[in-house]
Amino acid sequence: MSYLINGKTGNWEVVVGLEVHAQVVSNTKLFSGASTEFGAKPNHQVSLIDAAMPGMLPVINKYCVEQAIKTGVGLNATINLYSVFERKNYFYADLPQGYQISQYKHPIVGEGKIELDLEDGVTREIGIERLHMEQDAGKSIHDHDPKRSFIDLNRSGVCLMEIVSKPDIRSPEEAGAFLRKLRAILRYLGTCDGNMEEGSMRADVNVSVRHPGENLRTRVEVKNVNSMRFVMQAIEVEAERQVSVWESGGEVIQETRLFDVNKGKTRAMRKKEFAHDYRYFPDPDLLPLKLEIEYVNSITSTLPELPDEKKARFVKEHGLSSYDANVLVSDKQKAEYFESVMQYTPKQNQRDRDPKVVVNWVTTNLFGALNAVGKDISESKISAEQLGDLLDLVSDDLISGRIAKDVFDIMFETGRDASDIVKEKGLTQITDIGKIEAIVDKVLLENPDQVNQVRGGNNKAIGWFVGQIMQATDGKANPQLVNKVLREKLN
Amino acid sequence: MSELTRLSISEAACHLESKNISSEELTIAHIEEMERCRDLNAFITETPELALQRAKKSDARRSKGENVGAMDGIPIAIKDLFCTDGVLTTAGSHILDGFKPNYESTISQNLRDAGAVMLGKTNLDEFAMGSANVTSYYGPVKNPWVVNDLKDRVPGGSSGGSAVSVAARLSLGAVGTDTGGSIRQPASFCGIVGLKPTYGRCSRWGTVAFASSLDQAGPMTRSVEDAAIMLQAMAGYDPKDSTSARVETPKFNAELVSGVKGMMIGIPEEYTLDSTSEEIRKLWEQGCQWLESAGASCKRVSLPHTEFALPCYYIIAPAEASSNLARYDGVRYGLRVDGDSLDEMYENTRGEGFGAEVRRRIMIGTYVLSAGYYDAYYVKAQKVRALIAKDFEAAFADVDVILTPTAPTAAFPIGDRMGDPITMYLNDVFTVPASVAGLPAISIPAGLDSLGLPLGLHLIGRAFDEVTLLRTAKALENLADFNASPSKVDS
Amino acid sequence: MSLSHDDVEKIAHLARIKIDDAELETLRTELNNIIGWVEQLSKVDTDGIEPMTSVVGTNLGHRNDSVSEVNLSDKILANAPDRVGDFYAVPKVVE
């Protein structure tokens, strides 16, 4: 469904491109041997290089290069065998060198694409313009002192990948889907932890609006939006702002704005006296980064299975629906959980676990329960093995599906094994035909009216009897047997 | 004037080896001279206590029969551009007020490891930007060569303090840096040997950067042999400098006494400038004849882009400097001049902290990198740089070494050529081409002008062929037989 | 190309260098002289020539991803003109 803003002058389409800064997972910084670990005391993870002491020189971290290549491959993008680090010159308190080492004219990764799976089952391809490596800046803290800002350089020099999409995104939902898919890919690859709250993934959003079919109009950059929800919100409100500017006869100016979370609005950043002039030039402290094709191939060959491949495999191997497969592969850990439930060694006389049953339990019951308490799959008290055992109890007719749900709830709270709970609470299903016949006889005897109704042709009343019997057995009677016996006795 | 201060490094090393003298005696003799000649203003910081401590340690090593380095116990001076652990490092600038690094540059560390004893940090043009050592915040350095007119003359620059310390016998050798002639031109003005190695031969780590793609450390000594000894201690691949060359370090004195028989010496046609004095032209011809008399052949070569080397240099060097000097911002070290806002603090600090020449070059560099001018100036200069390098490559297909004058004039009085920056820049007209091409080059004292001021001859070698360069220089040194010493020394 | 008064002011601001008004005119003349002089490069035919960014022909060296510098806070803060606790302090920045 297309997203259009209804204006006085007709419909407006929103055109969005994202610039995502993803912090590379590495032990040390891009050009120094200082640690990148999150949460250190201020200025405790700063090398002489990161603090730009006189005479300090950058030496590139090979692993960061590898991570960028992996990400490029994961984005179906061209890996440039020749790339150049340049200096982006500007003054800021948390930029100790007075320049950021970045890639400009020759990025390490060129054009690629990401396939989005939208809610309504539609897929959309979003182009990737480029990916380049750069240093992160430090952090300025403005609220500790009335007259001074404090500078912490722990982040200074951490390796970022700037991933730039083409302006192919047409709605806040697509932007959200793009970020989720990108995050999934980065997490699969292990190149970025994708944690927006800790700032390891940040997005700048380029927004413009136009009447469908028109050329592009002036775009506005909304900076540093630090959650998916805010990205979507920022696009919505900025697009609406632009529509009202255009429609009131004004002109949208090219500028950088900030998204004010509290007000739910974007606002212009304090105006810089002069336009930026970054004076990019190749960093003379570094040489061009030349890669051998064999090296790139060796990295490509070690890549893990990515979401799209995994999804295709789930559909093909396990016969899952595209929707279910999407839900699973959207998160590497979820997909892994599903696969570990599937990948068990069958005990004697056991059948393979039914993927449709497994996916239902995993996505509906487990993910549902986790969502309800705001927990992540990694925090689940039920291990994949335990969930598998629970499902086996059902498929072996040892407990009923209804009982299984109760057992599941206990497992979810306590993390105990299903069989222990079943044993302790005496929840084992009644499959003894004699026992069931006795209960059925008793219930039929107590309810002659209903018996007559059934015999008079009201088949619905059979359901009522099933309910009565299940109630009488605390849900432990095997429903198939109950049905069978009932029908025999009532005929 | 002690006999000890008249020794060469190789002679002193022999005496120390045979225990005729101690490093302590040798060091004290030089400390006394350093203190006696303070009016030359060669040193910004004297470190006599540190020197004595290290001299005693050297003596102890010898008396215990421990391993000693090639320069063990030899007192030297270090240009105040090298960061030295715990010792004030100023780069000749107000902006580094009070800056005491807590790290040691690779070059000064290598020399320490070889046992050399640092006497102090020598004066220089601010951030090595100058050719007369008149831009230092710590005042001009005086050339020890005083002639009949009794005028104080410049020592050349930027390594003026280092040149003077060697010429006036305040140290046995000194370390300089050369970006466009900053070792060779002061060596010529002061009547000593100055060697700029191939770019990449000596690590730049811990050396305050002026122009990263040109800066090279090198030795300043009273003999070619001493230059070889010092370079041996300084040179080598440094993993901390990405532009450091991963090549084997040869024995620099391997062919020192092999002579020049059969060698082909190139005489570049384009080095005959109108501004060059008749005396210097004659000396150049003399140099040619000397080498021929020793069995070499001289051949005219063409370096057609030579005349553009200087303007090319004066785009590239300021561009790099404008960015390299951005880190001096009053936040982490050195001078801070307060202001009401961050930008005001920056502007005040940098306005007061940098001297006129540095400010000029930062401004030029900022301009040539700025939007709209980058291609016309910076990229153009890089293309011309490529042509200059090609000229040399072509010439070195036919010749082993190129002979030119070092500077177009002898040392001039302090205060001269101050009116117009370009007149000052022209001092480096013969030294800059080799810098731009990254080639090794050496200045040898070869004669005196009519006033009695020293003049140098300049040899340029193939990249990483310092062995041949030193061999030719040694032959030229023998033939020129320069044994005059500055009046200051004779007094 | 000749720099105007405004150009010089703009460059000075980009470089964050305070220039007194009195000095600005002299500086403008000097800069224009230097720029005029370096412009002789336009005489050189550089068609088809690749810009030379480095004289070093070798490949970029690299390091392994292991932490080699631990807790240097004292070292990096030792020379700070204004420091509060483990922070550098600067005049307040308004975004």
Residues of C with Cβ-Cβ distance to B348 under 8 angstroms: 18
Nearest CA in chain C to B308: C41
- How high is the pLDDT of residue A78? 97
The Cα–Cα gap between B441 and B424 comes to 21
Domains in chain B, start-ordered, CATH in brackets?
3-259 (3.90.1300.10)
- How high is the pLDDT of residue A350? 62
A196/chain B closest Cα distance in angstroms: 29
Domain for residue C57, yes or no?
Answer: no
Beta carbon pairs, A and C, within 8 Å = 134
Grade residue A20 by pLDDT with cuts at 50, 70 and 90: very high
Residue B168 contacts residue B144 (beta carbons within 8 Å) = yes
Grade residue A396 by pLDDT with cuts at 50, 70 and 90: confident
The Cα–Cα gap between A72 and A138 comes to 26
Which tens digit of pLDDT belongs to each residue from A419-476?
899 888 877 878 888 888 888 888 888 888 888 888 888 777 788 888 888 888 888 8
Which tens digit of pLDDT belongs to each residue from A143-190?
889 999 999 999 999 999 999 999 999 999 999 999 999 999 999 999
C19/chain B closest Cα distance in angstroms: 6
The Cα–Cα gap between B87 and C40 comes to 43
Cross-chain residue pair C52–B385, CB shorter than 8 Å: yes
> Which A residues 338-377 touch C at CB under 8 Å?
none
Nearest CA in chain A to C83: A150
Residues of B carrying an active site annotation? 79, 158, 182
**Residue B393 pLDDT more than 80?**
yes
Among B441, B444, B453, which residue's Cα sits nearest to residue B477?
B444
Cross-chain residue pair C40–B379, CB shorter than 8 Å: no
- How high is the pLDDT of residue C53? 87
The Cα–Cα gap between B464 and B244 comes to 12
Which tens digit of pLDDT belongs to each residue from A481-491?
888 888 888 77
> Once rounded to an integer, what is the mean pLDDT over residues B12-19?
96
- Using alpha carbons only, give the angle C39, C42, C46 rounded to the nearest 5 degrees: 140
- Nearest CB among C10, C61, C76 relative to A43 is that of C76
C69/chain A closest Cα distance in angstroms: 5
* Interface mutation vs chain B, best among C25, C52, C58, C92, most B CBs within 10 Å: C52
CA dist A274 → A19, A96, C7 (Å): 24, 21, 12
Beta carbon pairs, B and C, within 8 Å = 166
The Cα–Cα gap between A377 and A289 comes to 40
A30/chain C closest Cα distance in angstroms: 9
Cross-chain residue pair B311–C92, CB shorter than 8 Å: no
Q: Which residues share a beta bridge with B174?
A: B77, B220
Nearest CA in chain A to B204: A55
> Once rounded to an integer, what is the mean pLDDT over residues C2-27?
94
Which tens digit of pLDDT belongs to each residue from B65-95?
999 999 999 999 999 999 999 999 999 999 9
- How high is the pLDDT of residue A349? 56
Domain for residue C94, yes or no?
Answer: no
* Interface mutation vs chain A, best among B105, B242, B340, most A CBs within 10 Å: B242
Q: Which amino acid is at A435?
A: K
The Cα–Cα gap between B44 and B66 comes to 34
Nearest CA in chain A to C84: A150
Which tens digit of pLDDT belongs to each residue from A199-221?
899 999 999 999 999 999 999 99
Which tens digit of pLDDT belongs to each residue from B280-299?
999 999 999 999 999 999 99
Q: Is B308 on the interface with C (CB under 8 A)?
A: yes
Residues of A with Cβ-Cβ distance to B373 under 8 angstroms: none
Instruction: List the single range of A364-378, A430-444, C66-80 with lowest mean pLDDT.
Output: A430-444
Phi, psi (5° rounding) for residue A20?
-105, 130
Share of chain A above pLDDT 70, in %: 97
A408/chain C closest Cα distance in angstroms: 44
- Nearest CB among B208, B211, B319 relative to A55 is that of B208
Grade residue A271 by pLDDT with cuts at 50, 70 and 90: low
Q: Which amino acid is at B383?
A: K
C80: alpha, beta or left? (left if phi > 0; alpha if psi -120 to 50): beta
* Interface mutation vs chain C, best among B354, B366, B428, most C CBs within 10 Å: B366
- How high is the pLDDT of residue A347? 65
Q: Is B434 on the interface with C (CB under 8 A)?
A: no
Q: Which residues share a beta bridge with B177?
A: B217
- How high is the pLDDT of residue B384? 98
> Once rounded to an integer, what is the mean pLDDT over residues A330-345?
87
The Cα–Cα gap between A177 and A171 comes to 10
Cross-chain residue pair A59–B239, CB shorter than 8 Å: yes
Q: Is B421 on the interface with C (CB under 8 A)?
A: yes
Residues of C with Cβ-Cβ distance to A48 under 8 angstroms: 69, 72, 75-76
> Which A residues 174-233 touch C at CB under 8 Å?
none
Nearest CA in chain A to B320: A284
Among A226, A154, A175, A224, which residue's Cα sits nearest to residue A197?
A226
Cross-chain residue pair C95–A149, CB shorter than 8 Å: no
Grade residue B205 by pLDDT with cuts at 50, 70 and 90: very high
The DSSP annotation for B80-117 comes to TTB-BTTB---TT-GGGTT---SS--HHHHHHHHTT-E
- Nearest CB among A93, A96, A284 relative to B327 is that of A96
C13/chain B closest Cα distance in angstroms: 8
B360/chain A closest Cα distance in angstroms: 17
Grade residue B199 by pLDDT with cuts at 50, 70 and 90: very high
Cross-chain residue pair B329–A59, CB shorter than 8 Å: no
Cross-chain residue pair C69–A152, CB shorter than 8 Å: no
Nearest CA in chain C to A277: C14
Q: Is A68 on the interface with C (CB under 8 A)?
A: no
Instruction: List the single range of A385-394, A424-433, C84-93 with lowest mean pLDDT.
Output: A424-433
Domain for residue C11, yes or no?
Answer: yes
Nearest CA in chain C to B95: C81
Cross-chain residue pair A54–B208, CB shorter than 8 Å: yes
Domains in chain A, start-ordered, CATH in brackets?
4-300 (no CATH), 307-425 (no CATH), 433-490 (1.10.10.410)
- How high is the pLDDT of residue C1? 64
Domain for residue C25, yes or no?
Answer: yes
Cross-chain residue pair C69–A42, CB shorter than 8 Å: no
Cross-chain residue pair B98–C79, CB shorter than 8 Å: yes
DSSP assigned state of B141: P
Residues 6+ apart with CB under 8 A from A212: A4, A11, A13
The Cα–Cα gap between A87 and C30 comes to 27
Q: Which amino acid is at B210?
A: F
- How high is the pLDDT of residue B418? 80
How far does Cα C28 stand from its chain's mean position? Answer: 19
Residues of C with Cβ-Cβ distance to A61 under 8 angstroms: 62-65
The Cα–Cα gap between A57 and B204 comes to 8
> Once rounded to an integer, what is the mean pLDDT over residues B104-108?
98
Sign of the C-alpha dihedral computed for residues B198, B202, B205 and B207 taken in this order = negative
Average pLDDT of the residues of chain B:
96
Residue C62 contacts residue A33 (beta carbons within 8 Å) = no
Domain that holds residue C21: 5-38
- How high is the pLDDT of residue A224? 79
Residue B483 contacts residue B35 (beta carbons within 8 Å) = no
- What subunits touch chain B, counting only 3 or more CB pairs under 8 A? A, C
- Nearest CB among A62, A149, A152 relative to C92 is that of A149
Nearest CA in chain A to C91: A148
Sheet of A85-89: strands edge to edge?
A99-103, A85-89, A281-282
Structurally, chain C folds into a number of domains equal to 1
- How high is the pLDDT of residue B122? 98
- How high is the pLDDT of residue A273? 42
Residues of B with Cβ-Cβ distance to A59 under 8 angstroms: 239-242
Three-class SS string for chain A? CCCEEEECCEEEEEEEEEEEEEECCCCECCCCCEECCCCCCCCCCCCCCCCCCCCCCCCEEHHHHHHHHHHHHHCCCCECCEECEEEEECCCCCCCCCEEEEECCCCCECCEEEEEECCCCCEEEEEEEEEEEEECCCEEECCCCCCEEEEECCCCCCEEEEEEECCCECCHHHHHHHHHHHHHHHHHHCCCCCCCCCCCEEEEEEEEEECCCCCCCCCEEEEEECCHHHHHHHHHHHHHHHHHHHHCCCCCCCCEEEEECCCCEEEECCCCCCCCCCCCEECCCCCCEECCHHHHHHHHCCCCCCHHHHHHHHHHHHCCCHHHHHHHHCCHHHHHHHHHHHCCCCCCCCCCCCHHHHHHHHHHHHHHHHHHCCCCHHHCCCCHHHHHHHHHHHHCCCCCHHHHHHHHHHHHHHCCCHHHHHHHHCCCCECCHHHHHHHHHHHHHHCHHHHHHHHCCCCHHHHHHHHHHHHHCCCCECHHHHHHHHHHHHC
Residues 6+ apart with CB under 8 A from B156: B131, B132, B133, B143, B163, B185, B186, B187, B188, B189, B190, B407, B411, B427
Instruction: List the single range of A387-401, B342-356, B381-395 with lowest mean pLDDT.
Output: A387-401
Q: Provide the terminal-to-terminal Cα distance of chain A, rounded to the nearest Å.
A: 54
- Nearest CB among C43, C50, C61 relative to B242 is that of C61
Q: Which two tokens stand for residue A450?
A: 């209903």
The Cα–Cα gap between B294 and B476 comes to 9
DSSP assigned state of B159: S
Residues of C with Cβ-Cβ distance to A47 under 8 angstroms: 69, 72, 76
**Residue B2 pLDDT more than 80?**
no
Nearest CA in chain B to A286: B242
- How high is the pLDDT of residue A351? 66
Higher pLDDT pick, B246 / A344: B246
C59/chain A closest Cα distance in angstroms: 7
**Residue B406 pLDDT more than 80?**
yes
- What subunits touch chain C, counting only 3 or more CB pairs under 8 A? A, B
Cross-chain residue pair A51–B243, CB shorter than 8 Å: no
